[in-house]
Amino acid sequence: MKTNDEIIKTLNDLRNREGISISELARRVDMAKSSVSRYFNGTREFPLNYVDKFASALHTTPESLIGVSPVDPFKVKKLNVHSYPYIPADISAGILCNVDPLTSDDVETIQLPDSVMGRYAGDSSILMMHINGESMNQTIPDGSLIAVKQYNDIQDLKDGDIVVFADDGDYAVKYFYNDRQKQIVTFIPDSTDKRFSPIMYTYEDLEEENIKIIGRVVVYTVVL
């Protein structure tokens, strides 16, 4: 099977042969031009579950497009994938603070195989983000893709959960600890950079200081 770069090169060759623009290709496959452009500029992986649409639009076969034999047991159309809301880092703060709950209708989406998501495959309360920073680099490296399960109540979280929270215009990922007797929540980093230190809030602080716990990290992927 071809790599993502090889698939994009094939798409470009076919598109040039057809003499069509990215806008026209997007129209043929019934997708937003911005989404298709991301595949071609390398900022988003080509979605294998759309290979039939692209092959049809460019008058080729799915097998030829992705480089598999017609008798290959790998069946692209039978890949089990789901779409999840995806929050780019540059717009995360505003969206995370103001949209509750987030759905795929509110933001961009990203598609992931069920084999990656495991028991959270297809969970409508999941949103996807990228780690943006070094405060958890001993557990989750900077740039990792994380799946965050949105929650309804602080008591749904357990000590030691990794959570995403929005703090007055920015978001952070930390370990969560809840002292119910003292009504204090502590967010603890796990970083090689000792400048990061625990952050403590009373329950009252959480309500008054524009701090919103988005949910807990249930899956993360790392590019080695």
Note the pLDDT tens digit of each residue in 134-174: 889 899 888 888 999 988 788 889 999 999 888 766 788 89
- DSSP assignment letter at 187: E
Q: Reduced to 3 DSSP states, what percent helix, strand and coil does the chain have, rounded to the nearest 5?
A: 35, 25, 40
Q: What is the DSSP string of 90-117?
A: GGHHHHHHH-SS--TTTSEEEEEEHHHH
Question: Under CATH, which number does the domain 4-78 receive?
Answer: 1.10.260.40
pLDDT digits (tens, 9 = 90+) for 25-80: 999 999 889 989 989 998 888 888 888 899 999 999 888 888 876 645 445 456 68
Nearest to 171 by CA among 87, 107, 106, 101: 87
Domain map (residue ranges) of the chain: 4-78, 81-221
Dist CA 119 CA 104 (whole Å): 19
Pairing of strands 162-167, 171-179: antiparallel
Tell me whether the CATH fold assigned to 4-78 matches the one assigned to 81-221. Answer: no
Strands (E), 75-210: 81-87, 108-113, 126-130, 145-150, 162-167, 171-179, 184-188, 199-202
The CATH fold assigned to 81-221 is Umud Fragment, subunit A (2.10.109)
Tokens of 1: 């099977």
Q: Give CA 141 to chain center in angstroms.
A: 15
Q: What's at 206, amino acid-wise?
A: L
Report the length, in residues, of the chain: 224
Kindly report which listed range (72-81, 108-117, 119-128, 156-165) carries the lowest average pLDDT score.
72-81
Nearest to 84 by CA among 120, 127, 117: 127
